[in-house]
Structure 1
Amino acid sequence: MPDLHERPESPAKTSGARRRLRPTRFGVVVTVTVLLVLGLCAALLLIPESGAPHSDSARSASADRAAATDSRVTEVRRTMEPFGEILARSALADNGRTSLVVGHDDHSAEMDTLAAELPAAVAAVESVWGTEWARSTLVAVASSPSEFAALLHSPTLPTEVAAASVADPFAPGMRPTGQRIVFSPDAGDRLDRDGMVTLLRHELTHIAARARTVDGAPMWMLEGFADYTAYHDRPRTFGSIAPTVASHIRAEDLPTDLPADALFTGHDAAFAYEQAWSVCAYVAATYGQPRLVEAYRRIAGSRQDAASLETALREVLGAGRDELVDGWRDWLATQQI
């Protein structure tokens, strides 16, 4: 197998999910879902099918055997096999494309959840971003911190990281390959099902938009857009999505600028993620969702300085940074919290 040289997305992105998760005694929260696999030998694939109708479990077993030999599993096999037998589960979306969940037997419950939620997650991302991406993915669930770090090729991840998306290096303007979402070993213990759904859709948005995203683009757009997509068309109140922002609104403490990149790490990360989501929600509500997507493509597609960001905002929204912030503040003050 060729070496994989992944480029992890910012681990801080998972902080946005923490506010929706079950707290643990460690004071952190995470999300996860996983899939179950049948480790049957290749000889079973040669057994002819009988004329009798297959049960749902038989069809599932057949799909999982096929998933175990999928080329996308081959990409992670060398990394995961030292940590135990690899199980795989397939998830067929309405678009006819199959996503995969891989992991080990000790995380089969999380794998089941993720596999069940993947078709709806793919459809949700398509409804916002469109079809200009693979429209399927590979999700890996790690069984230990060492495996998690190995799958991300990042030995220094903060302990609160629940999941991250990675891609093999690719040339600008080309579609990235080797993309996958990796969940931490304790994500399933720290998240409820809703938290897992949110983080899965958030990370899947990063996968979908990766070809139009450069490293160093503004975090408020990268993470705000991913959270906007994760919550799009799901019945949630403003206060349940952004409780910290809501508390600031009640105190009449409204933001004076877009959240800076530095705020997305450290103890204020959840607040920064909430603010970023609310900026994107405001843009979609005021200018329309297609304009939000266009703004992402313009702003996330290149590094931005003050002048280039001002130009991009004016060309896409017809409003500069100051006008955007003023409108966002006014919109925040009208929210039912």
Structure 2
Amino acid sequence: MAPALLTGCGTSAPASDAAVRSIQRTLDARAAAVLAGDERGYLAAVAPGAERLRAEESRRFRGLARVPFGSWEYRLGAVDRRGDRAVAGAELRYRVSGYDKGPVTAARTLELVREGDRWYVTADRVAEGGAEQLWEQGEVTVVRGKRSLILGVGQEPARLEALAVTADRSVPAVTAAWPSRWAGRVVILVPSTLEDMGALLGAPASGYRGIAAVTTGETGGSGESPADRVIVNPAAYGVLGEFGKEVVLTHETTHVATRAHTSPATPMWLSEGYADWVAYRATDRTAPQTAPELRREVRRGALPAELPSDGDFAFGGTPQELARAYEGGWLACELIAEEWGERRLAEFYRVVGAGEHRGAAVEKAMSDILSTTPRAFTTRWRTYLAHRLGG
């Protein structure tokens, strides 16, 4: 939908090179002010007389002031100009110092006005289909763990500190299981409510009700890929006991560690199953304790015919269906670890992720690493389920 400032008579057109350069200078000065902690410089980009926006931007600046940014920049996209007004798409790119190898990227829509020879911001909002940033939801409290950085809004510091302690235990647990090099640290965001969690994900909050945490990031990550974030659902995470919290954060931290080797070729039974396998690896939980929903199905004679599909992991299904998908993936990875060894399991994960096409990648990895076929493995997995859960 076109912004109101572009309605009316006349035509809009791409901005001239001079206008684009001037707008970019305004945004560059704003970015420098963020890194310098200079609120006055940050607000200097706001159009004169735009008092409501100035108050909003002042709150936003205070929200992000404690976050240890290592970089912050705007990359302009298309700029549509009508006289002294313009609407621009921009990509905000930032890194948290000491944690991010690649930048987090956020799509923004900016409205601007020209006063004299300068362009000023009159609106700065999430682009359509984009996601909010944590500091847009309030002032960010920062807690530094030994291996974690916790950023929270509307949370008691003691709660964030306890989360950091749990996260600090999850990192070495993942490193002990995953043999490939990774950053060895994690950034965790804790919004105030489930609705705010949905806003951070750019998705309806209802889809995450009952989900304790999710990990965001780009699969097949390289040094320039968007950085991973673990986003905690404060309601669902808060009702867990200490064991449950540790399992959740170890699971999500595994996703951070394996991100560079996860690709569209990686089936969810493997990515989610491996994360659960790492989370439960050093615990004394039995298979019936860890896979109660799948055990019920097995004991009533409803042994699944196939490994869980990606669709089985959709948040829109019933909690029981979702639990069975995770449990099935976990037991598939446990089977590989027991029969072929933990290092073969990690190697299988990497080789699948290096493939281009799902079916061919899984088939090749099963042949090369496990000396089996998908059909034979599925048969073996079904037998394993019956053995582990049928008693």
Q: TM-score, normalised by structure 1?
A: 0.71
Q: Which moved more, 1:252-261 or 1:219-228?
A: 252-261
Cα distance in structure 2, aligned partners of 1:245 and 1:126: 29
1:148–1:154 Cα change, 3 Å: same
Q: Distance in 2 between matches of 1:225 and 1:129?
A: 10
Query: What corresponds to 2:332 in structure 1?
Result: 279
What is residue 263 of structure 2 aligned with on the other side?
214
In 2: Cα distance, 1:145 partner to 1:333 partner: 38
Residue of structure 2 equivalent to 1:14: none
Cα offset, 1:188, TM superposition: 3.4
3-state SS in 1 of match to 2:231: strand
> Relative to structure 1, is the Cα distance of residues 331 and 170 closer, same or farther in structure 2, using a 3 angstrom cutoff?
closer
- 1:259-270 paired onto structure 2 within 5 Å: 259-265=308-314, 266-267=317-318, 268-270=321-323
Distance 1:313 1:174, change over 3 A: farther
Partner of 1:333: 386
Counterpart for residue 81 of structure 1: 135
CA distance in 2, matches of 1:69, 1:155: 29
Q: Could you tell me whether the CA contact under 8 Å between 1:202 and 1:227 is conserved in 2?
A: yes
Cα RMSD after superposing both structures: 3.0
> Helix, strand or coil: the match of 1:181?
strand
Over 3 Å counting, the alpha-carbon distance change for 1:269 and 1:188 in structure 2 is closer
Report the CA distance shift for 1:301/1:195 in structure 2 as closer, same or farther (over 3 A).
Answer: farther
Instruction: Specify whether residues 82 and 147 from structure 1 end up closer, same or farther in structure 2 by C-alpha distance, changes over 3 A only.
Output: same
Which position in structure 1 is the counterpart of 2:170?
A: 121
| 2:373 alignment partner AA | G
Identical aligned residues as a percent: 30
Correspondence list, 1:139-218, <5 A:
139-155=188-204, 158-160=207-209, 161-167=211-217, 173-174=222-223, 176-215=225-264, 217-218=266-267
Report the residue type matching 1:104 in the other structure.
V
Higher RCO (CA < 8 A, seq sep 6+): 1
**1:224 corresponds to which residue?**
273
Identify the residue that residue 130 of structure 1 maps to in structure 2: 179
Distance 1:272 1:73 in 2: 34
5+ residue gaps in structure 1? 3-40, 43-66, 93-97
> Per-residue displacement from partner, 1:155-201 (whole Å, max 9, x unpaired)?
5661423321112x588654644221111231333322222111111
Any unmatched runs of 5+ in structure 2? 1-26, 29-36, 39-65, 71-94, 98-103, 106-131
Q: Give the whole-Å Cα distance in 1 for the aligned partners of 2:153 and 2:222.
A: 35
CA contact (8 A) 1:88 1:102 kept: yes
Does the aligned pair in 2 maintain the 1:221–1:300 contact within 8 Å? no
Q: 1:166 to 1:172 in 2, by over 3 A?
A: closer
Which structure: larger Rg? 2
Q: Distance in 1 between matches of 2:324 and 2:302?
A: 13
Structure 2 counterpart of 1:247: 296
Distance (Å, rounded) in 2 between the aligned partners of 1:214 and 1:305: 9
Equivalenced residues, count: 270
CA contact (8 A) 2:187 2:228 kept: yes
Aligned equivalent of 1:91, options 145, 149, 156: 145
| TM-score after normalising by structure 2 | 0.62
CA contact (8 A) 1:218 1:304 kept: no
CA 1:130 to 1:312, structure 2 compared with 1: closer, same or farther past 3 Å?
closer
1:253 is displaced (CA, Å) by 3.1
CA contact (8 A) 1:283 1:289 kept: yes
Moved over 4 A (4+): 72-76, 169-175
Matched, 1:293 2:366: no
Q: How does 1:317-328 map to 2 (within 5 A)?
A: 317-328=370-381
State the alpha-carbon separation in 1 of the partners of residues 369 and 151 from structure 2. Answer: 40
SS of residue in 1 equivalent to 2:133: helix
Change in 2 beyond 3 A, CA 1:73/1:186: farther
- Assess if the C-alpha contact under 8 Å between 2:219 and 2:261 holds in 1: no
